[in-house]
Each structure stands twice: as structure tokens, then as C-alpha cells.
């Protein structure tokens, strides 16, 4: 297995060819430059192959491919594009969600650093399909190498006539701008992202209206993840059937998975959807120690115990049947040495910190869970704390404007449901566990 800077990309695994739809240049020296990228097929679709098709043919092609959003929700991409109204008199905007902030997720930043031209090619195709004249890449503010790579690639594309007026001699024109965010996790939610793009506070909007009807600057807008759009050139070049050679019937294609935690070779791997998690762990060098559980798709995905992990496959349907989700593709297995309450404490602290504060149940509930877990881990847990934590998560799960609160509730609910004894063990160590809780305001915002 060859690697580059710690990121593996094997050509085959146990006699099976692995896809390189998204990772074809990850190990190619200077693959981020236009000269090298074009030698490996970049922008080959930007010509008659694209411009001889109608917008509706392109949308149907993406629908037929079965491509689903790779940012977490898994919504069918072609269907999302078809929601954009025609003839409104307003411009249509394309916004790329590159605000990768889900804990454990680091695939999009690799894509932008190693192969920014594939993203730009996908944006040109998508822009033509939707009638977009202006597009934005909303990048998480801390990703300075990625921002630099994108801006350099955009300059090269303009100089080569691949962006701007009359792309590649056609009648289609497109401008792309990189917009640097300020590092708020909530701006990964599409309406929070749009608010931030417009210069407002990064807080989600009520829906409807949905962005496809009224998004950026009150105009029709499609928001897609980096990885999603980078799959589009392959679909145009190889057809829906070519894309469906990988994956399963309902979860076709390949996906990039970020794997960390208790494996020997953490990194980013492109694999066909439908691979088993246990096979994937072997691809990542094997597990360290005895498996206890796994976060299958980013910190907001409900955790799987060891038995569930052994039977799960890396596709939307398998994980839905286990009441979890593929999410952003951040895979984090953990072994039997893991301190589960401390593990959840770290996750809960993240969500309490990142709540935008707009909705009371989320703002107060995530903070409350964080404080109760802190007390428990510090050795001051009381009888009833486990029930309290679970009840709090239940109370803010679906009571807010956006999906942040459910995403914050699911790890709490699932860790307690599947590893309750680990939390009880902390409480049992406290000799005063049965003492009544005194409601004393020890610090601003404290509940006891």
C-alpha cells in the first residue's frame, strides 16, 4: 500500500479494484496545478460533451446516477437540482459547502488541497446545468492551505479560458469566488452558511422557503458539498451506468471516508459504498485492541456497539436500519480501553460550544448536558444523572429551527443507551451519589 503524507490510496484491495473517482490525483506530485491536472484528464468534459447537452439532460443524468449529497444528509443530488425554478427573472446561485467542521471529518480539505481543479470542473458542469452565472465556495476560515490552493486554481482556470466569459469558446460564462468563513460549525448548515455569505450572523433560517426557491440574496440557490460536486465530472464522462459500477443499487458510487481512532493507518480512503466496516478497518491497517464500538459517520451519528459494527456496511440503507447514519463519512472505531463517559464528554462539550444560541432548547439544553457530564466525570455524579442527561437530549432533539440539536442529541442518547454501565460505574464511585442535589448558582449559568 502506498501513501502520501500519511494518506493511503491503494489501487486494489484483496483483488478488488478500488475507485479513484475523487482521489485520482491525491498521490500525484503537483496534482493541484492545472498543467499536471490536465495531463490526468482534468477539464476533458468541458467542451462538446457538456455544451451539446441541455440543462435538463444533465439533471436527468445526475438523477440516473443515483449520486447523493456527501455532506451528511445524503439527499439525491439530481433531485435537489430539479427543485430550482425556471424563468423567475432572478439569478441562480451555486454555493459549495466547504465548511467542513464535523469532528473526525477531514476529507474535503484533502480534496481542495490535492485536486482543486476537479472541484472547479464539477462546478462548471453544475453551473451550466442550473443556469448559474456566479458561484461561491464557502470555505472554513482556518483552512488556509485549501484557500490558497483554490485561489491559485481559479486564477489558472481564468487564464486558460475555463472560467469567466465564454468558457472554452462556448456561450456559457461563469465566475467563481472563494468566501472565507469565520470557523463556526453551524455555518455547515446550508441556511446558516447563506446568512454568513450575505454578511449576517451565521444562524439558520426557518424553512420553507428552501434555498432552491429563495436562498442567497433571495434568489434560487443550490448548496452542495465539495465531494458531491467532485463526482459530477466522472458521471458526465462515464455516464450513469459507469458511476453505478461501484456501490450498491440504492447507494451507488464511491465515497471518501475519514478514519481516525483506534486503527493503525488513519487517513482518507476512497471505497465503494457497501463495503463492510470490518473490511474497511483492515484496509486502514487493522484495529488496535478489541473493538468496543464505532462512530460510523461523524460525531453526530448515533454510535454503534461492537456487534452492530460487525454487521454494518458503509451505505445509507445499512446504517439507517441500525438507526444511525453515514453522515459525513467520518469513521471512528474505539476499543475496550476507551473511557466512554469522557469520550461523550468531549463530544457534548463541542456541541455546547458550537450551538449558535438562536433556539432556547438547544442553547440551554446542550450546555446543561455538558455540565452534568462534567460533574459525573469529575466524580460527583448522582443517582438520576443518567436519566437527566437522556431526558435533556430528548427535550431538544426535534424542537429547534435546524438539525443541529438532533445532531447534538443523537450521540448522547445512543452512548447512554448502549454503554449505560460505563456511566453508572462513575456514579457508583461517588460515596455521596444518593445525596440530594443542592441548587446553588456556583457560576453564571450553573444549574446546581
Q: Lowest-pLDDT range, 300-309, 339-348, 422-431?
A: 422-431
Share of the chain above pLDDT 90, in %: 89
Q: Is the peptide bond before 209 cis (omega within 30 degrees of 0)?
A: yes
Mean pLDDT value across residues 357-386? 95
> So what's the pLDDT on residue 444?
41
Class of domain 254-335: alpha beta
Question: Residue 81 and residue 79: Cα distance in Å, rounded?
Answer: 5
pLDDT at 10 over 90: no
pLDDT value of position 406: 95
Confidence of residue 73 (pLDDT cuts 50, 70, 90): confident
Write the CB contacts of 79 (distance below 8 Å, at least 6 apart in sequence).
63
CA distance 355 to 287: 33
Q: Is the pLDDT of residue 288 over 50?
A: yes
Residue with cell 435538463: 56
Q: Residue 446: which pLDDT band, with cuts at 50, 70 and 90?
A: very low
Instruction: Report how far Cα 217 is from the mean position of its chain's Cα atoms.
Output: 24
Of the candidates 43, 60, 311, the residue with the CA atom closest to the CA atom of residue 161: 43
Query: In CATH, which of 3.30.70.3270, 3.90.850.10, 3.40.50.1000, 3.40.50.11540 is domain 20-243?
Result: 3.40.50.11540
Cα 376-379-385 angle, rounded to 5 deg: 30
- Is omega for the bond preceding 380 within 30 degrees of 0, making it cis? no
pLDDT of residue 435: 53
pLDDT in tens, 19-40: 899 999 999 999 999 999 999 9
Supply the Cα-derived Rg of the chain in whole angstroms: 23
- Render 22-42 in DSSP notation, one character per residue: TTTTTTSTTTTSHHHHHHTTT
Residue range 340-428 forms a domain whose CATH class is mainly alpha
Assess whether pLDDT exceeds 50 at residue 222: yes
Whole-angstrom Cα distance, residue 76 to residue 78?
Answer: 6
Q: What is the mean pLDDT of residues 120-148?
A: 97
Domain boundaries, the chain: 20-243, 254-335, 340-428
Give the pLDDT of residue 448. 36
pLDDT value at 441 more than 50: no
Q: How far apart are CA 42 and CA 24, in angstroms?
A: 10
pLDDT at 426 over 80: yes
Q: Is residue 317 within a helix (H) or strand (E), and if so which, with residue range?
A: helix 316-321
Inter-residue contact 61 to 236 (CB < 8 Å): yes
Which residues of 114-261 form beta strands (DSSP E)? 132-139, 175-180, 221-225, 254-259
Residue 5 has pLDDT above 50, yes or no: no
Q: What is the mean pLDDT of residues 370-397?
A: 95
Quickly count: other Cβ atoms within 10 Å of residue 271's Cβ: 22
Phi and psi (nearest 5°) for 173?
-130, 145
Give the other-Cβ count within 10 Å of 198's Cβ: 11
Q: Where are the alpha helices (DSSP H) in 136-245?
A: 144-159, 190-197, 226-230, 232-243
Amino acid at each position: 500500500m502506498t501513501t502520501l503524507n500519511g494518506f493511503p490510496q491503494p489501487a486494489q484491495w484483496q483483488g478488488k479494484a478500488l475507485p479513484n473517482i475523487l482521489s485520482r490525483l491525491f498521490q500525484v506530485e503537483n496534482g493541484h496545478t492545472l498543467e499536471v491536472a490536465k495531463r490526468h484528464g482534468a477539464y476533458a468534459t468541458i467542451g462538446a460533451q457538456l455544451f451539446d447537452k441541455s440543462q435538463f439532460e444533465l439533471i436527468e443524468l445526475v438523477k440516473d446516477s443515483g449520486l447523493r449529497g456527501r455532506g451528511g444528509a445524503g439527499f439525491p443530488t439530481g433531485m435537489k437540482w430539479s427543485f430550482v425554478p425556471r424563468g423567475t427573472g432572478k439569478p441562480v446561485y451555486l454555493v459549495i459547502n466547504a465548511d467542513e467542521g464535523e469532528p473526525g471529518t477531514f476529507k474535503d480539505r484533502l480534496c481542495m488541497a490535492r485536486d482543486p481543479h476537479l472541484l472547479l470542473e464539477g462546478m462548471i458542469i453544475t453551473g451550466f446545468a442550473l443556469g448559474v452565472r456566479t458561484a461561491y465556495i464557502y470555505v472554513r476560515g482556518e483552512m488556509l492551505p485549501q484557500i490558497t490552493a483554490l485561489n491559485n486554481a481559479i486564477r489558472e482556470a481564468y487564464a486558460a479560458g475555463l472560467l469567466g466569459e465564454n468558457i472554452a469558446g462556448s456561450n456559457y460564462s461563469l465566475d467563481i469566488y472563494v468566501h472565507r468563513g469565520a470557523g463556526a460549525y453551524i455555518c455547515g448548515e446550508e441556511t446558516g452558511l447563506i446568512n454568513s455569505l450575505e454578511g449576517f450572523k451565521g444562524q439558520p433560517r426557518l424553512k420553507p422557503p428552501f434555498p432552491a426557491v429563495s436562498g442567497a440574496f433571495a434568489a434560487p440557490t443550490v448548496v452542495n458539498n465539495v465531494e458531491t460536486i467532485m463526482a459530477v465530472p466522472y458521471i458526465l464522462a462515464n455516464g450513469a451506468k459507469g458511476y453505478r459500477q461501484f456501490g450498491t443499487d440504492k447507494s451507488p458510487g464511491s465515497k471518501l471516508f475519514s478514519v481516525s481512532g483506534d486503527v493503525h493507518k488513519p487517513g482518507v480512503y476512497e471505497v465503494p459504498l457497501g463495503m463492510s466496516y470490518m473490511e474497511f478497518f483492515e484496509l486502514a491497517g487493522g484495529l488496535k485492541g478489541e473493538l468496543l464500538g464505532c462512530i460510523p459517520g461523524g460525531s453526530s451519528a448515533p454510535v454503534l456497539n461492537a456487534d452492530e459494527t460487525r454487521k454494518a456496511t458503509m451505505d445509507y440503507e445499512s446504517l439507517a436500519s441500525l438507526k444511525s447514519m453515514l453522515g459525513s463519512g467520518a469513521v471512528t472505531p474505539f476499543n475496550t480501553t476507551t473511557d466512554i463517559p469522557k469520550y461523550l464528554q468531549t463530544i457534548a462539550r463541542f456541541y455546547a460550544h458550537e450551538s449558535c444560541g438562536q433556539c432556547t432548547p438547544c442553547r440551554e439544553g446542550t450546555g446543561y448536558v455538558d455540565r452534568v457530564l462534567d460533574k459525573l466525570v469529575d466524580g460527583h455524579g448522582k443517582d438520576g444523572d443518567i436519566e437527566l442527561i437522556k431526558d435533556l437530549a430528548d427535550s431538544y432533539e426535534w424542537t429547534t429551527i435546524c438539525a443541529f440539536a438532533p445532531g447534538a442529541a443523537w450521540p448522547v442518547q445512543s452512548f447512554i443507551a448502549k454503554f449505560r454501565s460505563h456511566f453508572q460505574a462513575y456514579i457508583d464511585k461517588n460515596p455521596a451519589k444518593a445525596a440530594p442535589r443542592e441548587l446553588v448558582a456556583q457560576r453564571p449559568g450553573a444549574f446546581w
